[in-house]
Amino acid sequence: MSSAQESGSAVPDTDPTSRHKDIPVAAPEPRPHPTFPVRPLVVIVAWVAAAGLGGIALGRLAHLDDAVGWPYSAINAGTELLYLPAYATVAVAFALRRNLLMIISMALIAIHLFWTLPEVFPGGAEEAPQGAARLRVMSANLLYYNDHADRLGAQIRAANPDVLVLVELSPLTLARVTSSGALASYRYREVHPEPGAFGAAVFSRFPLHDAAAPIVGGAMSLRATVEVDERRRFVVYAVHTISPTTSAYTDRWRTQLDTLRAQLEHATLPVVMAGDFNATRDHRPFRRLVNSGVRDAHDVVGGGWQPTWNSKSLILPPVLRIDHVLASPAFAVTGFEVGGDFGSDHRPVIADLAMR
């Protein structure tokens, strides 16, 4: 026994770790992984979409599409699809309680519905008045380099139109459609093929008179008077305006539509305008034309969603209705339909009319 033990004094602990043996040590906390800010990003994207669509809509409401022309001519063409993101932004606003975003999005949806519903709502054909002369008008854009334009022949024979309007009539497409045999039964015709996209023709079972093909906006504008019977005549226009895809083309396009409107306002006979207008109801120059004394056969019967272009797209089905038959109030519109694919980027349109 040591002297320290003998004296009863405490023996110091010489183990340096012994003093910590009974003290618990907490494990290190794991570092939080960085999280991606999804919610703020979704809100930002929704605001960008709503602000962009709001600017476009305000420009249209303020007639900026009239003052500027391009690119509104291209933007307004896609109205039915362009404003669909507003339906997503209103859902984001509701889920994340962003009241101002919700108000703006709902306003955009209301504007979209106001502009779009007349295009998609179905309706019914008019009754032919007693004693009216019934006739069928068919129009087709052949696509001037369409090597399969002869496929239209089957649709011509099936529809059996009294008046047939063909645009983008090149020597190639004329030869192809003629080879189908579908044009042989038309005794009366005004045929003006041209290399490129602006040839046109009118084929008729009724006599044609006073044909003219002036150059308007750099392209031919074919018209002729159709003699239905001894007391009924009308003027048919084979319409093909230039596509408003640039500023210069938009100016020419507006000139062509404004010229048609001026001719309509001074017309002394009923008028039928058929063809590729390169315009939808969302284009102001086209609406001015319609409001000058003709009716869109599709709208009269409530044709619903029946786009005519672009049939050759590899990504989307046709989404734009730019081919029309416009007729004076002297005609009741008893039917309307859109034809099928025949190798062109357009689908043909067929209107049944009854001339009072």
Q: What is the pLDDT of residues 278-288, one digit of tens each?
A: 999 999 999 99
How many whole angstroms separate alpha carbon 213 and alpha carbon 190?
Answer: 10
Give the model's pLDDT for residue 316.
Answer: 79
Helix (H, G, I), strand (E, B) or coil at 165: strand
Cα–Cα distance for residue pair 70/114, rounded to 1 Å? 23
Query: Which pLDDT tens digit goes with each residue over 243-285?
Result: 999 999 999 999 999 999 999 999 999 999 999 999 999 999 9
End-to-end CA distance of the chain: 138
Q: List, for residues 99-152, the tens digit of each pLDDT value.
A: 999 999 999 999 999 999 988 887 789 999 999 999 999 999 999 999 999 999
Which residue bears the tokens 């600017």? 55
Residue 100 exposed, middle or buried by CB count within 10 Å (0-12, 13-18, 19+): exposed
pLDDT over 60 (residue 5)? no
Homologous superfamily of 133-355 in CATH?
Endonuclease/exonuclease/phosphatase (3.60.10.10)
Residue pLDDT, tens place only, 18-70: 555 556 666 666 666 666 678 899 999 999 999 999 999 999 999 988 888 89
Residue 122, φ and ψ in degrees, nearest 5:
-75, 160
- In the chain, ranges of CATH 3.60.10.10 domains: 133-355
CA distance 272 to 285: 18
Q: Which amino acid belongs to residue 261?
A: R
Can you state the angle between helices 38-61 and 85-96, rounded to 10 degrees? 130
d(CA 164, CA 162): 7
- What distances in angstroms separate CA 10 from CA 2, 14, 15, 18, 59, one per listed residue? 12, 12, 15, 16, 95
| Token pair belonging to 96 | 């994340």
Enter the pTM of the model.
Answer: 0.87
CB 356 within 8 A of CB 129: yes
For residues 309 and 346, is the Cβ–Cβ distance under 8 A? Answer: yes
